[in-house]
Structure 1
Amino acid sequence: MAEDDDIAERRLAFGRAFIGALPHARALGMTLVDLTEGRAVMEMPYDARLIGDPETGVIHGGAVSALMDTCGGAAVMAHAQTPAGTATLDLRIDYMRSATPGRAIRAEAVCYHMTRSVAFVRATATDGEEGRPVASATGAFTVERGR
């Protein structure tokens, strides 16, 4: 069990370093909360610079989209088949409601299927209101194999 814990800790540390090296992730304040085999959880704090509607204080959908996209890519990279790299091919997002102003947004993505060249991901974004997603997404990502 200690070996499994060590692998999990190393995976999370690597994932955090990788996400921290992405300029857009840093600019949006994204952090990697958890990273397990084929699954990633990320969070983005509420930030007034990301407001899309000044009257309501609601975060812009593009910031939510970027969080879900980055989280999806992290889930692909954490898959058991460990691709050398990935890029988004397609991302479909359904916005269900506005995120509550002042609350962090959390995304969870699962890479549920991988072929030789394409990985398939489902993701959900929430803001802490139990059972009330802000958005859901399905995506396809490239699978880059090591040389």
Structure 2
Amino acid sequence: MKVSPGFFPLTGLATRFVDQLVQCRRLQLKVLEGSEHHVLIELPYSTELIGYPDTGVIHGGVITTLMDTASGSAVVCSIFDKFNSLELSPTLDLRVDYMKPAQPHKSVFGFAECYKLSSSIAFTRAIAYQDSIDDPIAHAVGSFMRISPDMVGDEFRRALMGDEYE
């Protein structure tokens, strides 16, 4: 799936957020869409990510990282859209239900939405899939702590806001 940059207004913010995370750069995660409602991230297949050498199946921990990252990115986008501010939102809880292994030699996509923002917690749900979101590899639900925008350092804020930072 190809998406032109800027098609979703928060794609740039989600991309810069993901690019700040070392494990995401190592996994070569690529944000395809970011909006106030959802984030879609691609995990390209790599032999370095194999958990089961006999089958070529990606390790489950990598799928968990994809789901956590997509969910956290959705929280960042949702908060920014609603409050026009950046907040740190570490994962409090993430439950991943695996339904089937990912097929070897194919990208995996992580689709996540932040469906509820309370004053202190953000709630997410996510799906990992390959060919169709209707045929999931895994489902996840998560909760993320909302920490004051004052706790975001200038360097991190600059990295996420890019040219828009004052």
TM-score, length of structure 2 as denominator length: 0.80
* Matched length: 141
The answer to whether 1:78 aligns with 2:77 is: yes
- Show the 5 A alignment for 1:39-78: 39-78=38-77
Task: Mark the CA change 1:53 to 1:108 in structure 2 (over 3 Å): closer, same or farther.
Answer: same
More strand by share: 1
| In the alignment, structure 1 residue 103 sits paired with structure 2 residue 102 | no
Cα distance change, pair 83–130 in 1 and its aligned pair in 2 (3 A): closer
Instruction: Give the aligned residue type for 1:115.
Output: S
* Contact 2:14–2:39 (Cα < 8 Å) also in 1: no
Q: Which AA in structure 2 matches 1:119?
A: A
Instruction: State the partner residue of 1:125.
Output: 128
Deviation at 1:7, TM superposition (A): 9.6
Q: Distance in 1 between matches of 2:47 and 2:100?
A: 19
- Per-residue deviation, residues 42-96 of structure 1 (Å, max 9, x unmatched): 0100010000100100000000000000000000001124551110000000000
Inter-partner Cα distance in structure 1 for 2:8 and 2:45? 28
CA distance in 2, matches of 1:23, 1:93: 22
Counterpart contact for 2:37–2:114, Cα < 8 Å:
yes
In the aligned structure 1, how far is the partner of 2:55 from the partner of 2:7? 44
- Unpaired runs of 5+ residues, structure 2, are 1-5, 151-166
Shift of 1:36: 0.4
* Aligned-pair identity (%): 35
The code of the aligned residue for 1:106 comes to F
TM-score normalised per structure 1: 0.89
Unaligned runs of 5+ in 1: 1-5
8 A contact 1:89–1:139 mirrored in 2: yes
4+ long deviations beyond 3 Å = 6-9
Note the C-alpha offset of 1:14.
2.4
- What is the alpha-carbon root mean square deviation over aligned residues? 1.7
Contact 2:93/2:144 (<8 A) preserved: yes
CA distance in 2, matches of 1:7, 1:55: 40
